[in-house]
């Protein structure tokens, strides 16, 4: 009985973590947006994509 | 979009064609800047310039100069405006690599030390732009050293790496993004940048594995498949210049280990010579599938039952005994030399490949 109760706690914790994993990526940029705005300045959102050392490959081997 | 350099392939004809295709695709992807890597010179400076012009590739570099004129070979930095921010993007190349091409060991180019160049350049860039980006083709350790030494770089992407490195970090006031290696990965950094001073806050950085989970772009897939078909034809045309038409189907190359059984002292002399290292020299240069190289760096490439450059491969790499003396099967049958070995030298040691060849001098190197 004690073991079953312990397992229930584990599942509950896992459920919370899964929910956070889904929700946090959505809300953190918003929070940070507010955070940087609070610092003052003229903050702009920019995405940098980058590659290096492609070495002539057009697709990986295998 | 940024690329840290070494976009080009190895110094051989196959990779050159693949690089040509890659440049056309890269041009269409719309990169904002590409740092110069040493591999970009693998096919010579004229080839690089042809690719830049033909495919509108935004190459940039601040420390490689023409030795004669002292001029930079590429734009010192590029200015790109995104989201109302003026970015200045520059690149420097490591001095650790000698610049050479597949045909020329001296390209007449000088690589200046990166740190003095950056110390002088970055303040000048800051007068013109809001944010300074360094696409440094310096490798892991030297990129960090440069960022600790040089003030004023806001964002840096590291090139000249030999593995995928996922750890982004802050060095001084600079956000340093590590490599996304060999086209297997693409790095993505979502940032907030202060337009007033260029300072950076990263909210998320990830290295995305470009595996089967990422759906192929249908148009690009069609181009890649078309290119592969072209390469098959290209390779067949190259191979057809060296038909396996000499010798006899009835004869066989036995391999140097068979020769050793009766001629251990002669084999020992061969084992010390450059002839036994001939294949290694082309393998190190990535030329070990090039027919024009295989002719003289293997045994019997143009002869029936000679070196096989397709499956099933055989052991006839290097310039073995039979490359000069002919089929071992003939010799084993009657004990005579199958060929006058002396005459065979000039087949490979010709004016183009061995202009200083002199029989007496070269004989001393392989005397047996």
ipTM of the complex in this document? 0.76
Reference B231, options B301, B317, B289, B304; nearest CA is B289
Pair (B300, B209) in one structural domain: no
Q: Is A34 on the interface with B (CB under 8 A)?
A: no
Q: Is residue B244 part of a domain?
A: no
Tell me how many domains chain B contains.
2
CA B63 to chain A, closest CA, distance in angstroms equals: 19
CB nearest to B187's CB, from A25, A50, A57: A50
CB nearest to B183's CB, from A41, A45, A57: A57
Rounded distance, CA B173 to CA B349, Å?
58
- Collect all residues of chain A within an 8 Å Cβ-Cβ radius of residue B213: none
Pair (B146, B53) in one structural domain: yes
CA B337 to chain A, closest CA, distance in angstroms equals: 45
Rounded distance, CA A13 to CA B111, Å?
57
Q: Which residue, among A48, A57, A59, A61, would best test binding to B if mutated, counting the most B CBs under 10 Å from its CB?
A: A48
- Collect all residues of chain B within an 8 Å Cβ-Cβ radius of residue A38: none
Pair (B328, B200) in one structural domain: no
| 236-255 of B, contacting A, C-beta below 8 A | none
Residue B180: per-residue pLDDT: 66
Pair (B143, B197) in one structural domain: yes
CATH number of domain containing B358: 1.10.1130.10
Residue B59: per-residue pLDDT: 98
pTM over 0.90: no
Rounded distance, CA B180 to CA A54, Å?
9
CATH number of domain containing B22: 3.60.21.10
Pair (B167, B313) in one structural domain: no
Rounded distance, CA B299 to CA B58, Å?
45
Reference B91, options B55, B49, B125, B67; nearest CA is B125
Domain that holds residue B279: 252-366
Contact A52 B193 (CB under 8 A): no
- B24-to-A33, B20, B53, B219 alpha-carbon distances in Å: 38, 6, 11, 13
| The two structure tokens encoding residue B192 | 């907030």
Helices (H), chain B: 13-29, 45-55, 114-126, 140-149, 218-240, 256-262, 264-272, 278-284, 291-297, 321-325, 328-334, 341-348, 359-366
Rounded distance, CA B347 to CA B318, Å?
15
Angle, helices B114-126 vs B140-149, to 10°: value is 50
Residue A36: per-residue pLDDT: 52
Q: Is B162 on the interface with A (CB under 8 A)?
A: yes
Contact B1 A44 (CB under 8 A): no
| The two structure tokens encoding residue B30 | 């719309």
Contact A45 B188 (CB under 8 A): no
User: Is pLDDT of A24 > 50?
Assistant: no
Residue B172: per-residue pLDDT: 85
User: Is pLDDT of A35 > 80?
Assistant: no
B204 forms bridges with which residues in the sheet?
B190
The separation between CA B4 and the C-alpha centre of its own chain, rounded to angstroms, equals: 15
Pair (B215, B358) in one structural domain: no
Q: Is residue B246 part of a domain?
A: no
Contact B161 A54 (CB under 8 A): no
Q: Domain end: B206, B225, B244, which one?
A: B225
Q: pLDDT tens per residue, chain B (368 residues)?
A: 999 999 999 888 889 999 999 999 999 999 999 999 999 999 999 999 999 999 999 999 999 999 999 999 999 999 999 999 999 999 999 998 889 888 888 899 999 999 999 999 999 999 999 999 999 999 888 998 999 999 999 999 989 987 767 667 888 889 888 766 777 788 888 999 988 888 888 778 888 888 878 888 999 999 999 999 998 898 889 889 999 999 999 999 999 999 999 999 999 999 999 999 999 988 887 778 888 899 999 999 999 999 988 777 788 999 999 999 999 998 888 777 655 677 889 889 988 788 888 888 998 889 88
Pair (B57, B150) in one structural domain: yes
Contact A52 B22 (CB under 8 A): no
Pair (B205, B344) in one structural domain: no
Pair (B58, B190) in one structural domain: yes
How many Å is the maximal CA-CA distance in chain A?
62
pLDDT band at A62 (very low <50, low <70, confident <90, very high): low
Pair (B134, B266) in one structural domain: no
Pair (B142, B85) in one structural domain: yes
- Collect all residues of chain B within an 8 Å Cβ-Cβ radius of residue A62: none
CB nearest to A54's CB, from B183, B192, B196: B183
Q: Domain end: B189, B206, B225, which one?
A: B225
């Amino acid at each position: 009985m004690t073991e079953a109760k312990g397992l229930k706690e584990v599942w509950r914790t896992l459920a919370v973590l899964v929910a956070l994993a889904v929700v946090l990526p959505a809300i953190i940029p918003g929070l940070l947006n507010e955070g940087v705005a609070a610092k003052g300045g003229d903050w702009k959102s920019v995405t940098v994509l980058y590659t290096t050392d492609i070495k002539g490959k057009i697709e990986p081997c295998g | 979009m940024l690329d840290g350099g070494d976009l080009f392939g190895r110094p051989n004809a196959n990779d050159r064609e693949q690089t040509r295709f890659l440049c056309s695709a890269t041009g269409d992807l719309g990169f904002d800047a590409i740092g110069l890597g040493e591999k970009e010179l693998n096919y010579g400076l004229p080839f690089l310039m042809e690719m830049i012009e033909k495919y509108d590739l935004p190459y940039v570099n601040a420390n490689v100069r023409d030795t004669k004129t002292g001029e930079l070979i590429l734009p010192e930095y590029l200015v790109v405006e995104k989201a109302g921010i003026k970015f200045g993007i520059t690149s420097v190349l490591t001095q650790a690599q000698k610049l050479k091409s597949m045909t020329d060991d001296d390209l007449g180019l000088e690589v200046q030390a990166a740190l003095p160049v950056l110390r002088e350049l970055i303040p000048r860039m800051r007068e013109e732009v809001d944010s300074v980006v360094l696409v440094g083709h310096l490798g892991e350790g030297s990129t960090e050293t440069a960022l600790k030494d040089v003030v004023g770089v806001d964002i840096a992407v590291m090139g000249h790496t030999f593995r995928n490195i996922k750890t982004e970090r802050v060095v001084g006031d600079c956000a340093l993004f590590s490599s996304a290696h060999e086209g297997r990965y693409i790095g993505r950094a979502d940032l907030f940048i202060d337009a007033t001073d260029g300072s950076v806050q990263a909210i998320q950085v990830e290295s995305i594995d470009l595996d089967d989970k990422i759906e192929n772009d249908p148009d690009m897939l069609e181009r890649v498949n078309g290119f592969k078909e072209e390469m098959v034809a290209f390779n067949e045309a190259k191979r057809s210049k060296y038909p396996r038409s000499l010798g006899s189907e009835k004869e066989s190359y036995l391999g140097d280990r068979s020769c050793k059984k009766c001629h251990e002292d002669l084999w020992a002399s061969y084992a010390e010579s450059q002839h036994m290292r001939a294949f290694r020299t082309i393998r190190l240069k990535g030329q070990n599938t090039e027919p024009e190289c295989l002719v003289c760096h293997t045994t019997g490439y143009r002869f029936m039952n000679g070196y096989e450059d397709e499956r099933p491969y055989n052991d006839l790499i290097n310039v073995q005994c039979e490359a000069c003396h002919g089929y071992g099967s003939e010799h084993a049958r009657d004990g005579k030399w199958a060929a006058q070995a002396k005459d065979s030298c000039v087949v490979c040691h010709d004016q183009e490949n061995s202009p200083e060849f002199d029989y007496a001098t070269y004989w001393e190197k392989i005397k047996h």
